[in-house]
Every structure is written in structure tokens, then in C-alpha cells.
């Protein structure tokens, strides 16, 4: 088999593996399968390939079930499998790593019925994915406090804060993080009441951690993590929240101390261009 033929065969097999429904009964698919599998006295080539496809699909559903257990708890087994089938059809695997399989779930459920009619589903997807991202994010060097101790006061408005890659912030319509924790403990949490919530997920020294923060702190954190210098970030955050700039400036010290204690900040650059 030539390299070109091998490439074409691999591409055809990859396409068949992405199908979520049976391959048996389609003449064109049977012809493709005959180039891939030999068949035997019990199974035709397309039946052989369909077994592989079904196992491939079930393995991917299992991965989604593990990554989004709170959604499965909310919807139930059958409804979650239907969601997984729809998701895998619309967003087929694009990476060799199963870790990346659920990267588009939050957007998918937010944009497609019937899941888009329930904001809790999208909130759960976003929280679950924040934990996935935080779990295996690279580790940046910890903050060297000596680099900021000597910074002149007039340098701070230009300062850009570089955060640890594991730090994930999520704005929610529901306290989905609490529901997630209960569901993963195999408890029976009641559906939460709608309540705007701002959550940060991050990797602590020994385990993943999460914390609720208030709307003002989240607004500022969001601007800083987008790369805005501190002075500009305060102005934008105050404008978004409708609060006074002085309010943000008065809280800065406490927020900065808290974020430093949690290990969120890796570096503070004074007058540098953003790199995150």
C-alpha cells in the first residue's frame, strides 16, 4: 500500500469512527469498510467496522460522562447519552487526546435546544470544564515578592499581573459549582435557585480549589487576566459594575493580598506588554 493509499484509508476510517449511528445497511459505507476490514465467517467488513465504531463511541461517551458528571446527574442517564450523541455529531473529536473531547460542550449546550433553554446546563458545563483546565494547566514560577516591594507607587497603574495558568474564572447564573460538588459526591442535590455567582477555580498545593468572589473582584480579575494594566483595569471594571473608581481602589490591597495568598499571581510586570 502506498503512502497516499494509507493516508486515504486512515482518513476513511477516521470518518467512520466519528459516526454515531450504525454503519450497516448503507452501500457506500459498506464499500469503504471493505477496503479497511477483511470480514470473517461471522461478520461482514462493515459489521466489523461498526463494532469498532460503537466501541469508539461508547468510550467517548464515558469520557464525557466523567468530565460532565453533574450534567448527567441533572439530566439523567438516557438524556445525557442523547446529549453526548448530539455533541459528538456536531463537534467530532479533533485531537488525539481524550482530555480535549469536551472543550466545546459549554458552547454547544448554550446554542442548541433543548439544552439552551436551561442556563443551568451551560453553567455546569462551564464549571466542569474549568476544573478540567485547572487540573493539568502548566505551572508558572511563583510570585517573587521582592520584585514588587521596591516598585514605585507611580508604576502601579501601568502594572500588568500575570496569573498562574491554572486560574480559571467563571461567571454564572446559578451556583453551579455547589451542585457539581454534591453531584460528584453521589449526593442528591436539589436544583439550585437562580443566583448570579462568580467563581474562581485553581490548582492549590495539594488539590483543585474553588472560591466564590464578589462581582467587583471578578470584574477586576477578568480585566487583569485579559491583559489590561492595573489602572485601566480598575476603570473598566468600575464602569462595568456601575461602581465608583474609588471603591475599587480602596479594595485593591485586600484583593491583591488574597490573590497572592492563594498563589494566583505569578508575576507583576511594570510597563511591560501583556503575555496572557
Residue 19 CA to residue 36 CA, distance in Å, equals 16
As a whole number, the mean pLDDT across the chain is 85
Same domain membership, residue 137 and residue 44: no
pLDDT band at 95 (very low <50, low <70, confident <90, very high): confident
| pLDDT number for residue 24 | 47
- Please say whether the dihedral angle defined by the alpha carbons of residues 194, 70, 107 and 126, taken in this order, is positive or negative: positive
DSSP state of 168: E
Q: Is the pTM of this model over 0.75?
A: yes
Residues 6+ apart with CB under 8 A from 142: 263, 266
Domain-located, residue 123: no
Asked if pLDDT for residue 9 goes beyond 80, the answer is no
Q: Give me the mean pLDDT over the 86-105 stretch.
A: 89
Same domain membership, residue 276 and residue 144: yes
Same domain membership, residue 154 and residue 103: no
Picking from 87, 117, 147, the residue at the C-terminal end of a domain is 117
Q: What domain range includes position 92?
A: 1-117
| pLDDT number for residue 7 | 44
Using DSSP's 3-state secondary structure scheme, residue 154 falls into helix
Domain-located, residue 122: no
Same domain membership, residue 138 and residue 82: no
pLDDT band at 150 (very low <50, low <70, confident <90, very high): confident
Q: Give me the mean pLDDT over the 126-145 stretch.
A: 96
Asked if pLDDT for residue 53 goes beyond 70, the answer is no
CB 254: neighbour CB atoms within 10 A?
Answer: 10
Percent of the chain at pLDDT > 90 equals 62
Same domain membership, residue 225 and residue 189: yes
Q: Give me the mean pLDDT over the 16-39 stretch.
A: 51
| pLDDT number for residue 10 | 40
CB 154: neighbour CB atoms within 10 A?
Answer: 7
Q: Among 14-23, 105-114, 181-190, 229-238, name the one with the lowest average pLDDT.
A: 14-23
DSSP state of 192: P
Asked if pLDDT for residue 31 goes beyond 80, the answer is no
Instruction: Work out how many domains the chain is built from and give that number.
Output: 2
| pLDDT number for residue 22 | 46
Picking from 93, 117, 141, the residue at the C-terminal end of a domain is 117
Residue 78 CA to residue 72 CA, distance in Å, equals 9
Asked if pLDDT for residue 16 goes beyond 60, the answer is no
Amino acid at each position: 500500500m502506498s503512502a497516499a493509499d494509507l493516508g486515504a484509508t486512515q482518513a476513511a476510517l477516521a470518518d467512520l469512527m466519528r459516526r454515531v449511528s450504525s454503519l450497516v445497511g448503507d452501500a457506500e459505507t459498506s464499500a469503504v469498510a471493505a477496503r479497511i476490514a477483511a470480514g470473517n465467517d461471522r461478520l461482514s467488513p462493515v459489521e466489523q467496522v461498526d463494532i469498532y465504531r460503537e466501541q469508539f463511541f461508547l468510550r467517548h461517551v464515558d469520557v464525557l460522562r466523567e468530565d460532565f458528571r453533574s450534567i448527567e446527574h441533572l439530566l439523567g442517564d438516557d438524556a445525557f447519552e442523547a446529549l453526548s450523541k448530539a455533541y459528538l455529531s456536531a463537534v467530532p473529536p479533533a485531537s488525539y487526546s481524550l482530555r480535549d473531547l469536551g472543550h466545546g460542550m459549554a458552547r454547544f449546550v448554550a446554542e442548541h435546544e433543548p439544552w439552551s433553554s436551561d442556563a443551568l446546563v451551560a453553567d455546569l458545563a462551564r464549571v466542569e470544564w474549568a476544573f478540567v483546565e485547572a487540573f493539568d494547566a502548566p505551572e508558572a514560577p511563583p510570585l517573587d515578592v521582592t520584585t514588587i516591594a521596591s516598585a514605585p507607587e507611580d508604576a502601579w497603574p501601568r502594572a500588568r499581573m500575570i496569573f498562574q495558568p491554572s486560574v480559571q474564572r467563571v461567571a454564572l447564573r446559578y451556583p453551579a459549582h455547589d451542585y457539581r460538588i454534591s453531584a460528584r459526591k453521589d449526593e442528591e442535590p436539589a436544583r439550585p435557585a437562580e443566583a448570579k455567582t462568580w467563581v474562581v477555580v485553581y490548582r492549590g498545593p495539594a488539590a483543585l480549589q474553588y472560591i466564590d468572589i464578589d462581582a467587583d473582584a471578578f470584574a477586576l480579575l477578568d480585566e487583569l487576566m485579559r491583559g489590561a494594566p492595573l489602572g485601566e483595569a480598575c476603570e473598566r471594571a468600575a464602569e462595568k459594575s456601575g461602581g465608583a473608581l474609588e471603591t475599587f481602589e480602596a479594595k485593591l490591597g485586600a484583593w491583591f493580598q488574597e490573590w497572592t495568598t492563594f498563589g494566583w499571581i505569578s508575576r507583576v510586570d511594570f510597563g511591560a506588554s501583556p503575555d496572557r
